[in-house]
């Protein structure tokens, strides 16, 4: 088998000798295996839909490698395979002109008319029969390298010229058969920050004035009609959107542009998006996330809107859950604090331990100052209107929300949902601190907006 394949390449330009059935079919088998391996890699390394629709924007490096190898290997095999076929025809005792049956079959196969397709199929069968005929060395025509090479050259030139001229029509035919649909997914998130119901009228008004100032409006904050909360609509970047099992990330405007093949899955695609612990509501194309199957039409455009509502006050409450689950509540024992080990205690109160979804107990800290330039897990208290102290939002909501306004955390969650998606086990959270926790988990909010990851004060409004 391998000797046959070695001779196949050695005799790339031999048009005058002969090749037996085993010589021909061993080469055919090996080439078929190579083709299947490369084509399978190409089709599935970036997703079947991306390959069929030639969605090059979503091709993986492996897909490109498989495609390039397919092209190079196919191009390199044209002349050697033609020479092998010519030698096989000679070996059967037939005239070398019968080799032209093969390119004629390929050319007719490019047409969509029924008659052309039938003739192409018949010629392909005839060519197959030629390659299966036994060797007849006594009936071989006189050797003629020039004659054989001229026949092959003429046939290949006609095939290439026709294929190139037929490319526009073929491309249109492929596009029609694939039913390509342009997909645009727009993601909008409404972030709601509710005021505690226990606030006095004066405290509530002070928070309303902070979040509805021109600076607050610049951040997008608006007051609800019943004045019970403020909200803003943001378009998160790098939000993962899963379309038919393939993950795409939104751009700065919260948009994903891609393509889908309407001929697959009965003209439907499945769209999914992350669900967060702080999510209040999520809809995809106007439907609840229990049904994320969306119909698409061939050769058209489809815009899909994803709308989410999340609770920022719930998010801030989650950030209050600090401390090692094993701590008893003292500052000295707290080795995984939402603040840092580099703190100065101005006032301290310990509330009753509360239980998170992870069934771990945490201690709530309040009245803590963080030293400027010290490591910090989350710059959410460095807003320019506050006093840069850590406050428990449940116990000191006015002070906590004043410090949060225009902080790194405030700016970051308006830009990205990365922090929302990071709430699993405490040791894995961005806001975690303690032994064994990777440093890159610290202060992700500041990294998202390109601020210092150490604690720093905002002396004025800036992003």
CB 63 within 8 A of CB 46: yes
Regarding whether 172 and 57 lie in a shared domain, the answer is yes
Regarding whether 420 and 271 lie in a shared domain, the answer is no
Q: How many domains in the chain?
A: 3
Of 279, 311, 343, the last residue of a domain is 311
Of 178, 199, 232, the last residue of a domain is 178
CB 367 within 8 A of CB 349: yes
More confident residue, 53 or 216: 216
Q: How confident is the model at residue 253 (pLDDT cuts 50, 70, 90)?
A: very high
Q: How far apart are CA 122 and CA 448, in angstroms?
A: 64
Regarding whether 435 and 365 lie in a shared domain, the answer is yes
Kindly state the tokens that stand for 352: 């009753």
Please name the residue that has the structure tokens 């809809």. 283
Taking the model in full, what pTM does it have?
A: 0.57
Beta strands 368-370 and 343-345 are antiparallel
**Domain span including residue 378:** 320-463
Regarding whether 174 and 188 lie in a shared domain, the answer is no
Regarding whether 291 and 257 lie in a shared domain, the answer is yes
Mean pLDDT, residues 251-259 taken together:
90
Regarding whether 117 and 15 lie in a shared domain, the answer is yes
Q: How confident is the model at residue 344 (pLDDT cuts 50, 70, 90)?
A: very low
CB 340 within 8 A of CB 433: yes
More confident residue, 383 or 417: 383
Kindly state the tokens that stand for 404: 């949060």
Regarding whether 162 and 36 lie in a shared domain, the answer is yes
CB 250 within 8 A of CB 39: no
CB 415 within 8 A of CB 448: yes
Q: Euclidean distance between the first and final Cα of the chain, in Å? A: 68
User: Over the chain, what is the mean pLDDT?
Assistant: 76
Burial annotation 56-86 (CB, 10 A radius, 16+ → b, else e) = eebbeeebeebbeebeeeeeebebbbbbbbb
pLDDT at position 326: 30
Regarding whether 206 and 306 lie in a shared domain, the answer is yes
CA 246 to chain centre: 6
Regarding whether 113 and 38 lie in a shared domain, the answer is yes
pLDDT at position 250: 93
Beta strands 293-295 and 287-288 are unpaired
Share of residues in the chain with pLDDT > 70 (%): 71
Regarding whether 285 and 343 lie in a shared domain, the answer is no
pLDDT at position 182: 86
Regarding whether 174 and 185 lie in a shared domain, the answer is no
Kindly state the tokens that stand for 332: 């000295």
Q: How confident is the model at residue 341 (pLDDT cuts 50, 70, 90)?
A: very low
pLDDT at position 161: 62
Of 56-70, 89-103, 328-342, the poorest mean pLDDT is in: 328-342
Q: Is residue 365's pLDDT more than 60?
A: no
Regarding whether 357 and 260 lie in a shared domain, the answer is no
pLDDT at position 356: 33
**Closest to 396 (Cα-Cα) out of 192, 210, 191, 207:** 207
pLDDT at position 362: 31
- Per-residue pLDDT of 158-176, as tens digits, reads 666 655 555 555 555 555 5
Of 257, 285, 311, the last residue of a domain is 311
Share of residues in the chain with pLDDT > 90 (%): 13
Q: How far apart are CA 215 and CA 213, in angstroms?
A: 5
Q: Is residue 364's pLDDT more than 70?
A: no
């Amino acid at each position: 088998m391998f000797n046959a394949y070695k001779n196949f390449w050695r005799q790339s330009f031999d048009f005058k000798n002969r090749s037996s059935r085993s010589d021909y079919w061993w080469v055919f088998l090996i080439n078929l295996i190579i083709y299947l391996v490369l084509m399978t890699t190409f089709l599935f390394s970036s997703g079947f839909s991306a390959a069929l629709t030639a969605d090059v924007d979503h091709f993986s490096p492996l897909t490109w490698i498989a495609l390039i190898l397919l092209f190079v290997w196919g191009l390199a095999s044209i002349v050697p395979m033609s020479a092998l076929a010519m030698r096989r025809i000679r070996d059967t005792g037939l005239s070398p002109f019968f080799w032209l049956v093969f390119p004629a079959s390929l050319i007719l196969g490019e047409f969509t008319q029924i008659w052309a397709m039938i003739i192409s199929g018949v010629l392909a069968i005839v060519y197959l029969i030629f390659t299966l005929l036994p060797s007849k060395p006594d009936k071989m025509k006189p050797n003629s390298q020039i004659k054989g090479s001229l026949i092959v050259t003429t046939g290949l030139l006609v095939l290439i010229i026709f294929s190139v001229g037929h490319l526009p029509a073929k491309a249109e035919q492929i596009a029609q058969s694939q039913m390509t649909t342009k997909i645009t997914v727009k993601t909008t998130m409404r972030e709601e920050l509710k005021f505690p119901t226990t606030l006095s009228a004066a405290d509530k008004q002070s928070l309303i004035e902070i979040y509805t100032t021109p600076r607050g409006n610049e951040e997008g904050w608006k007051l609800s009609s019943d004045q019970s909360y403020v909200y803003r609509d943001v378009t998160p970047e790098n939000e993962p959107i899963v379309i038919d099992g393939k993950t795409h990330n939104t751009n700065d405007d919260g948009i994903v542009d891609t393509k889908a093949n309407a001929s697959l899955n009965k003209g439907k695609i499945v769209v999914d998006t992350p669900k967060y612990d702080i999510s209040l509501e999520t809809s995809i194309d106007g439907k609840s996330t229990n049904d994320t199957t969306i119909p698409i039409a061939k050769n058209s455009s489809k815009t899909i809107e994803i709308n989410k509502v999340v609770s920022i006050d719930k998010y801030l409450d989650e950030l209050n859950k600090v401390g090692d689950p094993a701590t008893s509540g003292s500052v000295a024992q707290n080795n995984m604090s939402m603040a840092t080990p580099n703190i100065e205690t101005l006032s301290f109160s310990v509330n009753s331990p509360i239980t998170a979804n992870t069934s771990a107990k945490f201690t709530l800290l309040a009245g803590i100052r963080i030293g400027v330039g010290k490591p910090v897990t989350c710059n959410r208290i460095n807003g320019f209107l506050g006093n840069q102290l850590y406050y428990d939002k449940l116990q000191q909501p006015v002070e906590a929300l004043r410090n949060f306004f225009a902080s790194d955390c405030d700016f970051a969650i308006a830009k990205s949902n990365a922090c929302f998606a990071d709430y699993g086990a405490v040791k894995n959270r961005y806001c975690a601190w303690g032994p064994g926790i990777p440093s890159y988990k610290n202060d992700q909010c500041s990294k998202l907006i390109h601020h210092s990851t150490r604690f720093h004060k905002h002396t004025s409004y800036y992003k």
